[in-house]
Amino acid sequence: MQRRALALLILMFLPASVIAQQGTGGTIPVSGSELFRFALHKNDLSPLSNPIHAIQNPKSTVIVVLGNTNNLGQHFRFGAGRAFRQFVADGGALLIATDMATAPQGNQGWAQVFGMEVTGLHVAAGRDRSYKGDLQRPFVKPRVPQFFQSPSPFEIFNVPETGTDAIATDRPGIMTVPHGIPDCDVESLAGYPDGSRVQEANQRLPPHLDHFALSIRHLFGPGRIIVLADNGVFANGMMGFPESYDGTEELKFSNGNWAFTHRTIQWLKAGSPEPRTNCLFIENGEIKTQFAVPVPPRPKPPIPDLPPDVLANMILNSMNPIIDEAQEKNLFNRILEGWFGFPRLVRLFVYIVTALFVFAGLRWLARGQRKVEPGTTLTAAGQAALLPRGGVLRQRTAAQIEVANLYEAASGRVRDRFDVLGGRPAPTGGIPPILVAGDVNDAPVLRRTVEWLWSVGYGDRPVPVTPAEWDQLNRLLERVMVRASRGHWSFGQEA
């Protein structure tokens, strides 16, 4: 229930389901810090815009530095190192997360002041100990404290080494552990999985550099520091939120970074006699003053310009199941019976039918009173359309086409061809003998084709020839004539 409430709150301010590439409408950048800043807002920390206000009120302030730390001098007159040392000594809480090499800055750099260094090299681990199998995203390996006393910074890393509750990094760096900081206690809180390697050198990570998180606590005050060798652990895309979430089920994370973020912030806020309510947030040298960042709405898709017939079909297709269900439940009949009652419906039906009959009778009587029926007269154009056009042959051909029978034209064409071959009827009126050469392979087919064509041209009964068969008859006739010219067949004389 708590996770669902948390998810709904996030969806109101900063929906995790819209984490995507920079520049897309309705999204936040994968590498940005919007979710981390929202966690600060959720933990009741208000943004500061002036570093002087943070340094002057250390016991009520948390300073967060993410990314590049080599350009912090622009915000602090005497350098970030001196300012941070005095800030922690006076009871302030500081978080630094970076995987970039710390440049030498004399006694003004924060790393030099605290006696440590971030090398700029990166760590890779095996697939079974990396987030989503990505070698450049090793899980964090928590360290077991020698003397555990709550509250302790080790509680921040009280998580398993793998799984959905483990802390996932993104190309983390390598840093050294400071020694001999006056009045401070230094602890290495977490390292990297066994077998991790330095990515650039492709060598096993040395034990003295196997540090992901360090804590520095002032022995005589509430001042405290957390240093992480990776700022990507707090990036939007590494918080483990699902790609899509509708708010109806329990929110399930793919890693433990979101919970780790809250534990880190709560530890930074703890230990002070005054409630820490202010936060100076610096990301890559830029001060961020907005924690609860509203996500711009996604652009609404344009309304499609659908043709009326397509729109009508869509409405009908969507309404058909509703109408069928209403008909199965006899909904329409029950509505009518409820409104009018069955006797009243019968009377209404009789009235309507009677009115229609009366209207039809009156209309028929009114038409009978006219002197001239419109259907009995013909206009000049109508009379001209009835007159025959062309000669007799043209009229007969048009009539044959109209009734879809070209028998006469086909008969004349066959006779014109066969008369040349002597294909006139025998004295008995039948077909003359058909002589087929002995070396013809398809003699039976050729004979039947000639007999059918002869029946079209000279037969006693008309053979129907449709316009669709006209072209076929002409092709057969031409083939038969070609084969006659080659000597394959001929008409004989009846004895």
Residues 174 and 47 in one domain: yes
C-alpha 172/C-alpha 120 separation (Å) is 9
Does the residue 296 lie in any domain? no
- Please give the average per-residue pLDDT across 81-93, as a whole number: 91
Domain C-terminal end among 288, 311, 327: 288
Report how far apart, in Å, the C-alpha atoms of 250 and of each of 16, 244, 293 are.
14, 12, 24
The predicted pLDDT at position 404 comes to 60
Mean pLDDT calculated for residue range 180-192 = 88
Indicate whether 93 and 234 sit together in one domain.
yes
Beta bridge partners of 281: 64, 288
Which of 60-69, 270-279, 401-410 has the lowest average pLDDT?
401-410
- 31 contacts 236 by C-beta, under 8 angstroms: yes
pLDDT in tens, 245-299: 666 667 788 999 999 999 999 999 998 899 999 999 999 999 999 998 665 556 6
Closest CA to 210 of 225, 223, 198, 224: 198
* Domain-located, residue 384: no
- Measured distance CA(374)–CA(155) in Å, rounded: 104
What average pLDDT does the segment 15-29 reach?
49
Domain carrying residue 65 = 2-288
User: Residue 46 contacts by C-beta under 8 Å, 6 or more apart in sequence?
Assistant: 277, 278, 279, 291
Phi, psi of 27 (to 5 degrees): -135, 165
The 3-state secondary structure of 217-283 reads EECCCCCEEEEECCCHHHCHHHCCCCCCCCCCCCCCCCCCHHHHHHHHHHHHHCCCCCCCCEEEEEE
Measure the CA–CA gap between 266 and 397, rounded to whole angstroms. 104
Look at residue 126 and tell me if it is in a domain.
yes
Which amino acid, residue 67? G
Nearby residues of 436 by Cβ (< 8 Å), 6 or more positions away: 443, 446, 447, 488, 489
Residue 252 CA: distances (Å) to CA of 18, 40, 73, 170, 353:
16, 21, 41, 20, 69
| Residues 152, 276 within the same domain | yes
Q: What is the mean pLDDT of residues 395-423?
A: 72
Q: Comparing 88-102, 195-209, 284-298, which segment has the lowest mean pLDDT? A: 284-298
Report pLDDT for 71.
Answer: 87
Q: Is 467 or 359 the better-scoring residue by pLDDT?
A: 359
How confident is residue 356, by pLDDT bands cut at 50, 70 and 90? very high
Give residue-wise pLDDT tens across range 117-168.
Answer: 898 899 999 999 999 999 999 999 999 886 656 678 889 999 999 999 999 9
Q: How confident is the model at residue 168, as a pLDDT?
A: 95
The answer on 22 and 166 residing in a single domain is yes
**Which uninterrupted H or E stretch holds 455?**
helix 443-458
Q: Check whether 20 has a pLDDT greater than 70.
A: no
Residue 447: per-residue pLDDT:
85
**pLDDT attached to residue 493:** 72
Residues 275 and 396 in one domain: no
- Domain stops at, among 270, 288, 306: 288
Residue 124: inside a domain, yes or no?
A: yes
DSSP 122: E
> Does pLDDT of 448 surpass 80?
yes
Task: Report percent pLDDT > 90 for the chain.
Answer: 35
Which residue, 263, 288, 313, sits at the end of a domain? 288
Model confidence pLDDT, tens digit, residues 33-42: 999 999 999 9
Of 234-238, 307-311, 393-397, 406-410, the range with the lowest mean pLDDT is 393-397
Which ranges in 303-442 belong to alpha helices (H)? 308-328, 331-339, 342-368, 380-386, 392-402, 407-420
Beta bridge partners of 224: 93, 217
**Count of domains observed in the chain:** 2
* The pair of three-digit structure tokens given for residue 333, joined into one six-digit string: 């009949």
Whole-number mean pLDDT of the chain? 81
Of the candidates 286, 282, 279, the one whose C-alpha atom is nearest the C-alpha of residue 57 is: 279
Mean pLDDT over 440-454 rounds to: 85
Query: In terms of C-beta distances under 8 Å and separation of at least 24 residues, what long-range contacts does 53-56 make, across chains too?
Result: 53/278, 53/280, 54/87, 54/92, 54/278, 54/280, 55/83, 55/86, 55/87, 55/92
pLDDT value of residue 60: 95
Q: What is the pLDDT of residue 12?
A: 46
Confidence of residue 473 (pLDDT cuts 50, 70, 90): confident
Which CA distances in Å does 113 have to 78, 103, 175, 209, 438?
12, 13, 15, 19, 119
478, pLDDT greater than 80:
yes
Please report whether residue 331 resides in a domain.
no
How confident is the model at residue 298, as a pLDDT? 60
The residue with greater pLDDT, 429 or 196, is 196
Same domain, 79 and 211: yes
pTM confidence score: 0.58
Q: Which residue has the higher pLDDT, 474 or 266?
A: 266
Q: Measured between alpha carbons, how far is 16 from 241 in angstroms, rounded to an integer? A: 6
Indicate whether 348 belongs to any domain: no
Q: Is residue 332 assigned to a domain?
A: no
**3-class state of residue 88 by DSSP:** helix
62 and 183 share one domain: yes
Start-to-end C-alpha separation, the chain: 113
At position 261, the amino acid (one-letter code) is T
61 vs 417 pLDDT, higher one:
61
The token pair that represents 50 in the structure block? 């002036």
**135 lies in some domain:** yes
Report helix angle 467-485 to 407-420, nearest 10. 0
Cis peptide before 151 (omega within 30 of 0): yes
**Could you tell me the pLDDT band of residue 399, with boundaries at 50, 70 and 90?**
low
Predicted confidence at residue 76, as pLDDT, reads 85
